[in-house]
Amino acid sequence: MDFEEFLAEWHNESPTVLVYTSGSTGKPKPMYVEKRRMEASARITCQFLGLKPGDTALLCMSLDYIAGKMMVVRAQTWGLRLLSVAPSGHPLDTVAEPVDFAAMVPMQVFNSLQVPEEREILKQIKHLIIGGGAIDEALAKELVGFPNNVWSTYGMTETLSHIALRRLNGPDVSDWYTPFEGVTLSQTDEGCLVIDAPAVHDGPLVTNDIVELSEKGFRILGRKDNVICSGGIKIQIEEVERLLKQHLSAPFMITKRADRKFGEQVVLLTESMDMDAVKDICQQVLPKYWQPRSYAHIDALPMTETGKPARKVAERLAALAVEV
């Protein structure tokens, strides 16, 4: 969808807009969302960040998904001046003017940091929100000294973008997400986050994110569907990846496959050709029961269009892994 097509849809007589989920746990699904709720979400974000009418907002993500659509809605609702560039891995390479507000995925931020000219533009963005995927420790460290406001977002298509933010830089840097005013949080018996955000969603929304709740807000531990049950031990995929990221230089992903003895086994997919070195690092870094039982080299890790790990595809690729 291009900009003109979305504007036409936004201004037509229908009370809803068609959006698609990100597809991180399967095929993207279509859903219709109410325009009035999108406007409510836009106002909440703009108020929280202290944006003013006339501020420049950068649109650099696909309008096929909620993140891109919401940037347009914020501009329409709050009177922001929208600067649109084609979605790409280097969204700042053609930007030649100051930007007050931008939303990017981690991959776009990472790429921009690698080019000195783009890095300088990124540093000057007054309000930068990053969503659509996990922000690893190395990327977070690169951003901690930025002079302006940098946030990690928490949300999903069903919540019409984010319902909570956590600060990535400055004196308020934190691992905890702070929910917006009017958002109530609770947990299921399994520890999954339950969101009650009446301004943007009708009724409580049960997520697959396993979290820790406190007076600070919430901290994400991983996803319920990313748990590997091996020999009676529950292993959180994201926790295994977090431990390995600072030791493995080549792109990798943890997944799982069925195991006759243990029920499920840990599998590591990697773009590295040196499987022995990868195995040695896993044995040194990971607890015994977290260590992969199988490894596979693949040319490129499976990713969704929005830059998230395609976990279901990874499970299918796990069939290629060799047990060690």
Please list the residues that pair with 210 across neighbouring strands. Answer: 192, 222
Average pLDDT over residues 72-81: 97
Q: How far apart are CA 167 and CA 144, in angstroms?
A: 9
**Chain CA centroid to CA 165, Å:** 12
Condensed to tens digits (0 to 9), the pLDDT of residues 34-64 reads 999 999 999 999 999 999 999 999 999 999 8
Return the minimum-mean-pLDDT range out of 194-198, 216-220, 279-283, 303-307: 303-307
Condensed to tens digits (0 to 9), the pLDDT of residues 93-149 reads 999 999 999 999 998 999 999 999 999 999 999 999 999 887 878 889 999 999 999
Average pLDDT over residues 218-242: 90
Sequence-ordered list of residues with C-beta below 8 angstroms from that of 114, at least 6 positions apart, any chain: none
Residue appearing with tokens 């990053």: 130
pLDDT for 23 equals 60
The structure's pTM equals 0.78
